[in-house]
Chain A
Amino acid sequence: MKDTIRLAEHLNHFDRKVLAGRRRLLALTYEFDPVAFERQFARLLRTHADIDVVVGRPLPPGERSIRYCVWPVRWRGVFHPKLLVFLANSEVLVGIGSANLTAAGLGENLEEWHFFDDSDGPVLAGVRRFLERLVEHSVVAEAAQLNEIIVSLPQSHPNQKLPVLSSLDGKLRDQVGDRIASGYQRLDIVSPINGRPEKLLRYLAKKVKNAAGTGVVVHTNQGFRPKVRGVQYKTLDDPPESAAEEGLPRLGAVHAKLYAFVSKKWVDLFWGSANLSFSAWERVGATANVELLVHSRIHPTAWQQLLNRDLPGGHHWRKANPGGEPQPLELLHDSGWRLLCAVRDGPALTLEATGDGVQTVLLRVSQGTKELKVTLTFQDGHAVAPHLAARLGGELRGTLEWRTPHGEWATIPLNHLSSVDGTGTSGSLVELLHLRYTGRPMPGKSNGRPRLPNDDRDEDELIRSKYLGELDRFALQWRLTAVRLAAASRPHRELWECRVAEARRAVQQDATMRPDRWPNYKQEFAARMLENAWLE
Chain B
Amino acid sequence: MTTVSLTTAACPSWVAPSPSEPGSLDALGYQLRADRIAETLLPGVTVQTHRARYLSFLCWAIDRTGGNEIEIDRWEIALAVGEHLRHSGTDHQCSFLGKNKLMARMPARGDALPRRLHVQTARMLYGGLLRSCGLVGDDGCLTAHGQCLAKRFAGTGMPQTTPAKIWTCERMPCLSGASQLEKKTLREALLEGEEGTRRNATLKAIGKTRLRGQHTSMVLADFLDSRAFSNSAAELVREAAVLELTALPCTKLFICLYQSGGKLAGEIPNHTMLQPYRVRDAIPDLLADVGAHLRRAAKLGGEKLPLGLNRLKQFLLERHRREKPDAPWVSENWTRLREGLAPGRINVHSYRLMAFRSLLRDVEVL
Contact = CB atoms under 8 A, between A and B. Distances in A.
A116 B10 contact: yes
A403 interface: no
Contacts of B125: 242, 245
Contacts of A107: 15-18
25 contacts: A2-B11, A5-B13, A5-B14, A61-B260, A62-B263, A103-B18, A105-B15, A110-B15, A111-B14, A113-B14, A121-B5, A155-B2, A157-B1, A179-B6, A239-B100, A241-B47, A249-B20, A251-B17, A268-B7, A295-B7, A295-B8, A296-B12, A310-B13, A311-B14, A312-B16
Interface stretch (A160-168, A330-338, A528-536): A160-168
Interface residues of B, number: 52
B8 A302 contact: no
Give the dominant DSSP class at B's interface: loop
Contacts of B17: 4, 107-108, 248-249, 251, 312-313
B314 interface: no
Contact of A296 (B10, B51, B261): B10
Contacts of A250: 344-345
B340 A296 contact: no
A296 B95 contact: no
Nearest to B352: A241
Interface stretch (A122-130, A388-396, A449-457, A475-483): A122-130
A105 B17 CA distance: 9
Interface string A207-250: 00000000000000000000000000000000111111111111
Interface string A128-167: 0000000000000000000000000011110011110000
Contacts of B344: 103-104, 108, 250-252
Interface stretch (B101-109, B158-166, B196-204): B101-109
Interface in B118-163: 118-120, 125
Contacts of A294: 8, 10, 12
B1 A306 contact: no
A162 B120 CA distance: 49
Contacts of A116: 8, 10
A154 B3 CA distance: 10
Nearest to B47: A241
B326 interface: no
A248 B50 CA distance: 16
B106 A1 contact: yes
A97 B2 contact: no
Interface in B90-122: 95-101, 103-106, 118-120
A109 B125 CA distance: 29
Name the residue in B1, B15, B19 with the highest tally of chain A Cβ atoms < 10 Å from its Cβ: B15
B363 interface: no
A251 B106 CA distance: 23
Nearest to A295: B7
Instruction: Identify the 7 closest CB pairs spanning chains A and B, nearest first.
Output: A107-B18, A4-B16, A122-B5, A121-B2, A111-B15, A114-B12, A112-B12
A305 to B, nearest CB: 9
B345 A242 contact: no
A248 B106 CA distance: 18
Contacts of B259: 35
A202 interface: no
A314 interface: yes
Contacts of A297: 7-9
B354 interface: yes
Interface of B: 1-20, 47-48, 50-51, 95-101, 103-106, 118-120, 125, 259-261, 263, 336, 339-340, 342, 344-345, 350, 354-355
A295 B14 contact: no
Nearest to B101: A246
A50 B106 CA distance: 43
A5 B9 CA distance: 18
A59 interface: no
B131 to A, nearest CB: 19
Interface in A351-367: 367
B8 A120 contact: yes
Nearest to B16: A4
Interface string A32-53: 0001101100000000000000
A114 B51 CA distance: 38
Contact of B13 (A112, A161, A248, A269): A112
Contact of A106 (B6, B18, B101): B18
Contact of A248 (B12, B100, B350): B100
Given A240-B50, A313-B100, A114 B1 contact: no
Nearest to B18: A107
A306 B10 CA distance: 12
A402 interface: no
Contacts of A505: none
A240 B10 contact: no
A314 B354 contact: no
A35 B98 CA distance: 35
Given A107-B17, A240-B50, A296-B11, 7 more contacts: A99-B15, A106-B15, A107-B16, A157-B1, A239-B100, A242-B50, A252-B345
Given A62-B261, A244-B47, A163 B6 contact: yes
A174 interface: no
A236 to B, nearest CB: 12
Contact of B7 (A1, A105, A163): A163
Interface string A279-301: 00000000000000011111000
B342 A123 contact: no
A243 B99 contact: yes
Contacts of A367: 263
Contact of B14 (A106, A112, A252, A269): A112
Contact of A244 (B6, B48, B106): B48
A296 B100 contact: no
B7 A296 contact: yes
Interface string A252-283: 10001010000000001101000000000000
Given A122-B3, A154-B2, A309-B103, A5 B16 contact: yes
A472 interface: no
B12 A258 contact: yes
A108 B341 CA distance: 12
A121 B5 CA distance: 9
Nearest to B54: A242
A3 interface: yes
Contacts of B95: 240, 242
Given A35-B339, A125-B2, A242-B97, A249 B12 contact: no
A7 interface: yes
A108 B24 CA distance: 14
Contacts of B101: 246
A61 B342 CA distance: 17
Name the residue in B5, B18, B96, B105 with the highest tally of chain A Cβ atoms < 10 Å from its Cβ: B5
A5 B336 CA distance: 28
Given A155-B2, A296-B7, A246 B100 contact: yes
Given A61-B260, A62-B261, A312-B14, A241 B340 contact: no
A160 B4 contact: yes
Contacts of A112: 12-15
Contacts of A309: 103, 106
A127 B106 CA distance: 36
